[in-house]
A and B are shown apart, each in its own frame.
Chain A
């Protein structure tokens, strides 16, 4: 799976958690999940579970704490899937 493909897959996961007034086009690699995309922080754990299922990886507690932005998520996914 290439970098672009991973990014698209992650965007697809995130879009369901966006509030009504945030469109999928507002997602960029720099986006902060809660502060910029206004995703309810309670849903971060659901995004983690979806990422685990979609990429067949397991995230540790530290990974979850560090996952603040789309870029953070991609970095963690890259690390885990490259193993």
Chain B
């Protein structure tokens, strides 16, 4: 049994826009969400810029009760709840009644590490021999599944409620897990997506690995340069993206607005073999993941109009393009359009796949392709393989039929999802 699965709701809390309207405008106009972070300067970070959503206190009060806000110190939960609740409302779905959960609705909402600031607060109390002062929510805010637990309670979901974690692949993987669950008939609706905390304790490890740009502290909006010859590392980001996936039957029965269809996808791992390692992908695995996604979607390689890449703005971008060329057997002028949204909001880590998927789907909705920024100097190895005309630098009117979106993560894990314009 394999059922058609469509997208009926979107929500987002991104560095360059909180809420669908602001985010859409930011994507259309190439508005950056990357800013100088005084806290990182104070702490002697090499990279002192980041993409962090600007969430106002009065907005938070609309999503959380005063009790939930007491002692809340987990930015990932704040972002995830804003995006998740927005997506649910955007899908025009009801909140379950007080006594009975909605057995046919579930949640798969991923994260990398959650409640880091709360955990730090707790560590200080424990080390001061003051464990009794932790309060009742230290566990709930720091368990990985805190985000699906908060959302599950707010909405009253009674199907599977869980959190997945696969580094920077998390968000895209979550969409595929939700897709599988609905396609196989185990649920009718899944709220899916991912979130990632902000702050020095999340980003510090990457700074220590020296994979973040250090020369743009006074020029933050130019720092994230996917596919560029002058790319010098990824800009760390945070936030959340959320999608409501729904069986076509359920969506049609309730007359829901349909943004796009999830045609299929694949996840795999390179096993940290061949060129693969904890931090680098096995190229054959990336290619196989893309090919399997195409097969799963029941389309031809030539059907893909647009690729939204992982493309983080490191030396690996050229290799990623090479892998797409090999997997799709397309290059030069025949290559699909390709964009990376990390130029505008950085690499939102566990949240990357979901925020970027929300933006990808908005391209169907608005019949536009969002332009790339900071790649006026396309990397020569990329320009050798594909025509630079396939890398739009400005948003333009375009009616995509099929978009492939991929994410790759530490641990040598890959995910590729195929989105299609919905037609009945």
Contact = CB atoms under 8 A, between A and B. Distances in A.
Contacts of B135: 45-46, 49
A46 B133 contact: no
A7 interface: no
B133 A49 contact: yes
A55 interface: no
Interface string A16-57: 110000000000000000000000001101100100000000
B97 to A, nearest CB: 13
B56 interface: no
| Interface residues on chain A, size class | under 10
A46 B136 contact: yes
B66 A16 contact: yes
Closest 6 CB pairs of A and B: A42-B136, A46-B136, A45-B136, A16-B67, A46-B135, A16-B66
B70 interface: yes
Nearest to B140: A42
Nearest to B66: A16
A43 B66 contact: no
Nearest to B139: A42
Contacts of B70: 16, 46
A18 B27 CA distance: 43
Nearest to B133: A49
A43 B70 CA distance: 11
Contacts of A43: 67, 136
Interface in B205-226: none
A42 B139 CA distance: 11
B143 to A, nearest CB: 14
B126 to A, nearest CB: 15
Interface in B222-258: none
Interface string B119-155: 0000000000000110111000000000000000000
17 contacts: A16-B66, A16-B67, A16-B70, A17-B67, A42-B136, A43-B67, A43-B136, A45-B132, A45-B135, A45-B136, A46-B70, A46-B71, A46-B135, A46-B136, A46-B137, A49-B133, A49-B135
Nearest to B69: A16
Nearest to B134: A45
Interface string B42-79: 00000000000000000000000011001100000000
Nearest to A17: B67
With a 10 A CB-CB cut-off, give which of B70, B133, B136 has the most chain A CB atoms: B136
A20 to B, nearest CB: 8
A16 B136 CA distance: 14
A45 B71 CA distance: 13
Contacts of A46: 70-71, 135-137
Contacts of B133: 49
A49 B71 CA distance: 12
Given A45-B135, A46-B136, 10 more contacts: A16-B66, A16-B70, A17-B67, A42-B136, A43-B67, A43-B136, A45-B136, A46-B70, A46-B71, A49-B135
Contacts of A49: 133, 135
A17 B137 CA distance: 13
A46 B71 CA distance: 10
A27 B67 CA distance: 18
Contacts of A17: 67
A16 B68 CA distance: 10
